[in-house]
């Protein structure tokens, strides 16, 4: 199949999602792809608005992502952090010298009255990224982690405590009912989509915050395009990050079946790894179409191959009558 | 003369003052010297509290001053500024990667509830500087420059507009009547001082903001120790910065005589350069003792030699009966 005239919107968190987004951009081109990004990890640090997932996506698409750290910018230096450390400063959240430029520029743009969506567009364009990267919301939505020691912020959990605390619950807090980002809403409500793709990001920490914005979730449920998730769990393990640990702690069990159960009222199809093909029947029993392939993305070839596989799966599902059934299930939930 | 048991307090702005302070520290030792520093140039930039003169003094005393730029830190890099510029950010005020560490640490300390005086002490100690460097005030005092195009901030005048506008007036604004910094007040009210030295900083832009804090000025006037200024003007020229240009614009005329007139109710002695010795009589006619030497400080030897010269002058003045007269003049002014 060719990808001409195909259009996709992707829901993504940071690193894992960015890999698939990069593959999709390479096969679809910049204009046929829009990305709705988690902002539940965003926080203010040293007075600067830090948006880890937005930056990971833009850096990745700009070929500016740091291959050594997996986060931050390519060719990074650490003079600021070293100087701050020497003065006894707080260094649990590491900001590279070049990365700082992004946060300071974002601060300027927000102070000039731009929304986070508009500021993100400006930064992406300045970095030569034409692909539309939309914050899920222009108002703060904060992912909060319940632990035995109390509720903590996502960055405290993920960076400061290195994802070590046992999670007993998660919630997504906004000042009021969070309004969707205008670009995010448009990207998910578009009538000409070939498919909506949920990237292999952490469902609870990266995708659920997006779905916590009610209008975004209902736009996905009401969109006639098929919704496909790519499992972030392979053979009971997460490719990266605390997904498997978190699933165990939440009593779900780290398995692709848990991913299917979590997404079952939202998705039409699930892409699972060949190592998980024995779970195919149980997932199909939930009314979810399953496609099996190698989902590990080590190099660009892996990314474009998986991206093409997902696009082809969407084209196949697009003609399925099952779509209507899923929608009515979702709306009654 | 030897410097044992001598104690001095210096009023200082940035670069020019720091040179003499470094010389004084080298001959007196760290404990016999305290510095009261101008904070009228301080401002918030990209959300960070920037204190140019405090930092210039601490960096100089820590041997961390940048010899290439004359400001900022030694071994500096510019990755942050380059990244910010590439994103279209505001780059008129250049912050090096290492220098940023200082401002972020200061922000942390202030947010933790420390005063600017306490935060400055903490940063100086972390940089291995035992000499007490006191902000003139812990509350903001802002030097404002009147120009034909309206009133502008000091940094707008000095950095953004590179001191090009014609100055028609200067004022020093604080939220309320500015309280003196506790260390600054103690350093100027101390009864065991050998002398109070006004460094060769810009009188209007660096020293006048300190004197605008009423309790600091009265402490100087009431202190029995002799007050000595070192002229920042040599042969009608400023060693550095816009002092001469400013004197012309204010109608004073760029001459050591104008410096003497400006300080005449405050000082007992003025150190002038040998190139200005023809002005000795007119300055002495104002009731100011004059000492003539080479005041240009190019290397460390120049700094310690001038420092020793000023200390010796203070010892000589310390026994003069004229002190009482100056105080009554000053208090009645």
B89 vs A83, A90, A108: nearest CB: A108
Mean pLDDT (whole number) for B60-86: 94
Cα B33–Cα B36–Cα B40 angle in degrees, nearest 5? 160
Task: Read off the pLDDT of each residue in A124-144 and give the average, rounded to a whole number.
Answer: 96
Look up the CATH number of the domain holding residue A290.
3.40.50.10680
pLDDT at B174: 80
Q: Answer for the pair B160, B93: CB distance below 8 angstroms, yes or no.
A: yes
Band of residue A329 on the pLDDT scale cut at 50, 70, 90: very low
In the DSSP assignment, the letter for residue B36 is E
Contact A77 B79 (CB under 8 A): yes
Q: Is position A3 within any domain?
A: no
CB-count exposure of residue B68 (10 Å: 0-12, 13-18, 19+) = exposed
Q: Which residue of A has its CA nearest to B96?
A: A80
Burial, B278: exposed, middle or buried (Cβ in 10 Å; 0-12, 13-18, 19+)?
exposed
Residue B3 lies inside a defined structural domain of this protein: no
Whether chain B has a CB inside 8 Å of the CB on A263: the answer is no
Q: What share of chain A is helix, strand, coil (3-state, %, to 5)?
A: 45, 20, 35
Answer for the pair B33, B61: CB distance below 8 angstroms, yes or no.
no
Q: Does A190 have pLDDT greater than 50?
A: yes
Q: Helix or strand or coil: residue A103? A: helix
Residue B88 lies in a domain: yes
**CB A199, CB A11: distance < 8 Å:** yes
**Smallest CA–CA distance from B107 into chain A, residue:** A46
Residue A2 is predicted with a pLDDT of: 65
- Residue A197 structural domain: 13-332
Q: Pick the residue of A96, A101, A125 with the most B CBs within 10 A to test the interface with B by mutation.
A: A101
Is residue A123 one of the residues assigned to a domain? yes
Q: B42 touching A, CB under 8 A?
A: no
Strand pairing report for B48-50 and B132-135: unpaired
Q: How far is A267 from chain B (nearest CA, A)?
A: 38
Note whether ipTM > 0.85 here.
Answer: yes
Cross-chain Cβ contact A80/B100 below 8 Å: yes
Mean predicted confidence (pLDDT) in A176-197: 94
Could you report the per-residue pLDDT of A140-167, keeping only the tens digit for each? Answer: 999 999 999 899 999 999 999 999 999 9
Q: How confident is the model at residue A330 (pLDDT cuts 50, 70, 90)?
A: very low
Residue A176 pLDDT > 80: no
Radius of gyration over every alpha carbon of chain B, rounded to an integer in angstroms: 19
What residues of chain B lie within 8 A of the CB of A101, using their CB? 79-87, 89
E strand spans, chain B = 8-12, 33-37, 43-45, 48-50, 132-135, 141-147, 150-153, 167-174, 195-198, 227-230, 233-234, 237-238, 269-273, 289-293
Quick check: A243 and A232 in contact, CB under 8 A? yes
Which residues of chain B does A85 touch, with a Cβ-Cβ cutoff of 8 Å? 101
Non-local CB neighbours of A20 within 8 Å, separated by 6+ positions? A10, A12, A197, A199, A200, A230, A297, A303, A306, A307, A310
pLDDT tens-place string over residues B223-259: 999 999 999 999 999 888 889 999 999 999 899 999 9
Residue A242 has a pLDDT of: 87
**What's the mean pLDDT in A201-222?**
96
Q: Which of A141, A229, A221, A223 is nearest to A181 (CA)?
A: A141
- Kindly state the DSSP code that residue B246 receives in the 8-state scheme: H
Q: Within a domain: residue B2?
A: no
- How confident is the model at residue B242, as a pLDDT? 87
- pLDDT of B129-160, one tens digit each? 999 999 999 999 999 999 998 999 999 999 99
Pick from A41-45, B157-161, B172-176: least confident: B172-176
Q: How far apart are the first and last CA of chain B?
A: 35
Check: CB of residue A98 under 8 Å from CB of residue A77.
Answer: yes
| Distance of alpha carbon A49 from alpha carbon A60, whole angstroms | 19
Q: Is residue B193 in some structural domain?
A: yes
Residue B140 lies in a domain: yes
pLDDT given for residue B2 in this prediction: 65
How far is A58 from B187, CA to CA, in rounded Å? 53
Q: Which residues of A touch B79 (CB under 8 A)?
A: 76-77, 79, 96-98, 101
What is the average per-residue pLDDT within A100-114?
Answer: 97
Interface test mutation site (partner A, options B49, B50, B64, B79, max chain A beta carbons within 10 A): B79
Q: What 8-state DSSP symbol labels residue B236?
A: T
- Which residues, in sequence order, are bridge partners of residue A44? A49
Q: How many domains does chain B divide into?
A: 1
Q: How far apart are CA A43 and CA A59, in angstroms?
A: 18
Q: Rounded distance, CA B287 to CA B326, Å?
A: 8
Please report the pLDDT score of residue B333 as a whole number. Answer: 33
Q: Given an 8 Å threshold on Cβ–Cβ distance, is B98 in contact with A83?
A: yes
Q: Which of B47, B83, B99 minimises the CB distance to A102? A: B83
Residue A5 lies in a domain: no
| Per-residue pLDDT at B69 | 86
């Amino acid at each position: 199949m060719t990808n001409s005239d195909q259009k996709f919107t992707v829901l993504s968190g940071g690193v894992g999602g960015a890999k698939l987004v990069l593959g999709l951009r390479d096969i679809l081109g910049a204009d046929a792809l829009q990305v709705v990004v988690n902002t539940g990890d965003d926080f203010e640090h040293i007075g600067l608005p830090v948006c880890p997932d937005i930056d990971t996506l833009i850096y990745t698409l700009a070929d500016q992502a740091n291959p050594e750290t997996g986060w931050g910018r390519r060719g990074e230096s650490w003079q600021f952090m070293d100087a701050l450390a020497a003065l006894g400063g707080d260094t649990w959240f590491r900001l590279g010298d070049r990365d700082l430029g992004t946060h300071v520029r974002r601060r300027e743009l927000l102070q000039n009255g731009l929304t986070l969506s508009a500021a993100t567009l400006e930064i992406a364009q300045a970095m030569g990224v034409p692909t539309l990267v939309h914050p899920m919301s222009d108002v703060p939505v904060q992912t909060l982690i319940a632990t035995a020691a109390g509720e903590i912020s996502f960055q405290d959990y993920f960076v400061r405590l290195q994802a070590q605390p046992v999670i007993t619950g998660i919630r997504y807090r906004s000042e009021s009912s969070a309004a969707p980002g205008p670009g995010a809403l448009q990207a998910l409500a578009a009538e000409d989509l070939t498919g909506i793709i949920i990237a292999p990001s952490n469902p609870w920490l990266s995708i659920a915050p997006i779905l916590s914005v009610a209008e975004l979730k209902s736009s996905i449920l009401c969109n006639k395009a098929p919704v496909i998730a790519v499992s972030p769990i392979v053979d009971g393990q997460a490719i990266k990050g605390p997904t498997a640990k978190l699933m165990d702690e939440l009593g779900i069990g780290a398995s692709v079946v848990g991913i299917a159960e979590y997404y079952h009222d939202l998705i039409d199809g699930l892409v699972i790894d060949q190592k998980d093909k024995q779970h195919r029947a149980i997932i199909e029993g939930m009314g979810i179409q399953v496609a099996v392939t190698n989902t590990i993305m080590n190099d660009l070839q892996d990314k474009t191959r998986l991206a093409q596989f997902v696009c082809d799966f969407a084209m196949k599902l697009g003609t399925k009558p099952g779509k209507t059934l899923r929608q009515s299930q979702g709306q009654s939930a």
